[in-house]
Structure 1
Amino acid sequence: MRITNSMMIMRTMRDQNTNLSKMSKWNHDLSSLTNLHRPSDDPIRVARTLRLESDINMSLEYKENIQAAKSWLEKTETTMNEITSVYQRIRELAVQGANGILKQEDTQKVAEEIKELKNHLIQVGNDTYMGRQIFTGFKTDKKLLNENGSYNTPAIDLSATGLPSELIEYKVGDSQTLSVNITGERIFGAEVDTNADGNPDMPKLFADIDKLLAALDAGDNEAASSSLEDMDNQLKTLLQVRGEVGAKVNMIDIMSERITDVGINLKELLSKTKDTDVAETQIQLITAEAVYKASLSVTARIIQPTLVDFLR
């Protein structure tokens, strides 16, 4: 087969383009720090990359939700600690006032302190987090308690149980949600009838305090003593609710550590899937450049550029 000069030129040009294309690829991989630029580069790895990126985005969303849930729970825990501490102080004062030893004026001082603590409980019961009421379920723009301690009707859902029951939940994992709020009736109890008219009008916690105050004002030590059992039961409830919140705070700390580890592992796997191996790519680029320059040098010697070169 006769090899013409034009055939040599065409073949040489094709080889040169091949060498130049390889050099361009390695250079592109190095400058972009990834070796996947289009689906055709490696369909399997591209599909894996898309899945990993989706999983990373979801883990970031879960991490944000976990942090938001943790902040809400920590605020609730702080508030529950304060409510429990104040109520424990009220019980201590109830014991002092009911023992029959104090003078009437001292009993009145005890009653005055209990009234102040009751007002403080009402204020804490209307506590907020970032401008949102923490004990009113979904109605976070409404206060839970009125000034006298009764439930604020617009803040609670009376259609079912007569008490708020809405739970605010955050999605913290695949098919996993976490409720972060405690509704008011868990803390202050159901409404009871304090006027003997058949209409519940006051949360039990405050009804018990009012009954205690009435007994102290009347100097009725027996009635004051009888209120201690109800207060003990209420205190157990407060401690139980506080324990539940504390357990959720501990659990969400574990969730936070886990989702952080998951995110790190996913990013490492994504890097191994699509990122450029810089050291190896630099070697490949240098090799491709050397091959390309060598091919240019050889081409310049084997292809005669002009007719004069044939006549020499």
Structure 2
Amino acid sequence: MISRVTTSAMATSAMRQLQTNLSELSRLQEQATSQRAFLALSDDPAAATTALRLHGEQHRNEQYARNIGDGLAWLTAADSAITAGTALLGRVRTLTLQGANDGAMDATAREAIAVELESIRSEMLSTANTTVVGRSVFAGTSDTAAFAADGTYNGIPGAEVVRRISDAGSIRVDTDGAAVFGTGADSVFSMIDRIVSDLRSGTNVGPRLGEIDQRRNAMLSAQGTVGARQAQIERVQEATVQDAVSLEARRAAVEDVDSVEVLVRLQAQELVYRSALAVTGRVLQPTLMEFLR
């Protein structure tokens, strides 16, 4: 049995094929323009699921990077403050050593040393109240200054400012001001006040040198702890940068297209579509009279 192929059937088939070619051409044009392998989840569900998971990992990694940057700012500020504090304490020791030489010191000279020590105390207080984005790095979770003007510690004992820096854990980014500068009668501020009082009363300040060395050792010990945390967070920062590069490469492999490949396929599809138009035009060109003939 011979099936009859009508002109209408040929036209319908040709139009269907042209529409298919045009859809593919449109898809390739969208890929070339957007540089994306798919524009809707339904285009490639498996790839879309992978891409969504990778985006989630990227967002989490970016948050860790922000936490690391913030944590480094806190630790760097604390390290710089302690460095400045130990330098000031070194000057306090030098002045105290000079003031201990009773034979060469008269009341005027001792007063000059006392005045400079008071100035150093003010600088030390400013250093102890170092802040990052308005928060003291030595006051724990307290929003107030770490130390009052009289040297009283206002931090919250045991309270820690913590930043999560990876899936594996977190790190403390503040520093215990009480451990660095001391509290009450053991604070660096009370110590300087005692030295100033001794100078003005004529008491030999030589015995205060031991207190200065003890406080300086405490500062250096605290700085060592801060340095260890800095090294730890910097190592995690390097790993986070590497993870960011790896995740972006994996995301690009799933979502992005090869520009050269897409352009080649686009040109080929354009040729196919133009050829189909030409062939369809020739096939459907005969008139009804020519067909009946």
TM range (shorter): 0.7 to 0.9
Task: Specify the SS of the correspondent of 2:39.
Answer: coil
Do residues 3 (structure 1) and 9 (structure 2) align? no
Change (3 A) 1:274 1:302: same
Do residues 135 (structure 1) and 116 (structure 2) align? no
Query: Equivalences for 1:1-312 in 2 at 5 Å?
Result: 1-5=2-6, 6-105=8-107, 106-140=109-143, 142-151=144-153, 155-157=154-156, 164-192=157-185, 203-221=186-204, 224-303=205-284, 305-312=286-293
How far 1:62 moved relative to its partner? 1.8
How far 1:250 moved relative to its partner? 4.0
Change (3 A) 1:111 1:304: closer
Q: Note if contact 1:135-1:181 (Cα within 8 Å) is conserved in structure 2.
A: yes
How far 1:278 moved relative to its partner? 1.3
Tell me how far apart the structure 2 counterparts of residues 301 and 236 of structure 1 sit (CA, whole Å): 96
Q: Tell me, which stretches of 5 or more residues in structure 2 are unaligned?
A: none
How far 1:50 moved relative to its partner? 0.6
Give the stretch that moved more between structures: 237-246 or 300-309: 300-309
Normalised by the size of structure 2, how large is the TM-score? 0.88
Tell me how far apart the structure 2 counterparts of residues 122 and 168 of structure 1 sit (CA, whole Å): 21
Identity of aligned residues (%): 28
Change (3 A) 1:218 1:304: closer
Q: Tell me, which stretches of 5 or more residues in structure 1 are unaligned?
A: 158-163, 193-202
Question: Could you tell me which amino acid in structure 1 is paired with residue 226 of structure 2?
Answer: V
Tell me how far apart the structure 2 counterparts of residues 156 and 57 of structure 1 sit (CA, whole Å): 34
Q: Note if contact 1:104-1:219 (Cα within 8 Å) is conserved in structure 2.
A: no
Task: Specify the SS of the correspondent of 1:225.
Answer: coil
Task: Specify the SS of the correspondent of 1:280.
Answer: helix
Task: Specify the SS of the correspondent of 1:170.
Answer: strand
Tell me how far apart the structure 2 counterparts of residues 281 and 144 of structure 1 sit (CA, whole Å): 61
Question: Could you tell me which amino acid in structure 2 is paired with residue 3 of structure 1?
Answer: R
Tell me how far apart the structure 1 counterparts of residues 34 and 171 of structure 2 sit (CA, whole Å): 41
Q: Note if contact 1:72-1:129 (Cα within 8 Å) is conserved in structure 2.
A: yes
Tell me how far apart the structure 1 counterparts of residues 284 and 181 of structure 2 sit (CA, whole Å): 97
Q: Note if contact 1:65-1:170 (Cα within 8 Å) is conserved in structure 2.
A: yes
CA deviations on 1:250-277 (whole Å, 9 max, x unpaired) are: 4444433332232122112211111121
Tell me how far apart the structure 1 counterparts of residues 238 and 4 of structure 2 sit (CA, whole Å): 70
Task: Specify the SS of the correspondent of 2:171.
Answer: strand
Tell me how far apart the structure 1 counterparts of residues 286 and 226 of structure 2 sit (CA, whole Å): 86
Tell me how far apart the structure 1 counterparts of residues 121 and 19 of structure 2 sit (CA, whole Å): 87
Tell me how far apart the structure 2 counterparts of residues 280 and 230 of structure 1 sit (CA, whole Å): 75
How far 1:305 moved relative to its partner? 5.0
Tell me how far apart the structure 2 counterparts of residues 285 and 264 of structure 1 sit (CA, whole Å): 30
Give the stretch that moved more between structures: 112-121 or 252-261: 252-261
How far 1:237 moved relative to its partner? 0.8
Counterpart in 2 of 1:195? none
Tell me how far apart the structure 2 counterparts of residues 291 and 150 of structure 1 sit (CA, whole Å): 84
Tell me how far apart the structure 1 counterparts of residues 162 and 120 of structure 2 sit (CA, whole Å): 32
Q: Note if contact 2:151-2:184 (Cα within 8 Å) is conserved in structure 1.
A: no
Task: Specify the SS of the correspondent of 2:165.
Answer: strand
Task: Specify the SS of the correspondent of 2:158.
Answer: coil
Q: Note if contact 2:65-2:237 (Cα within 8 Å) is conserved in structure 1.
A: yes
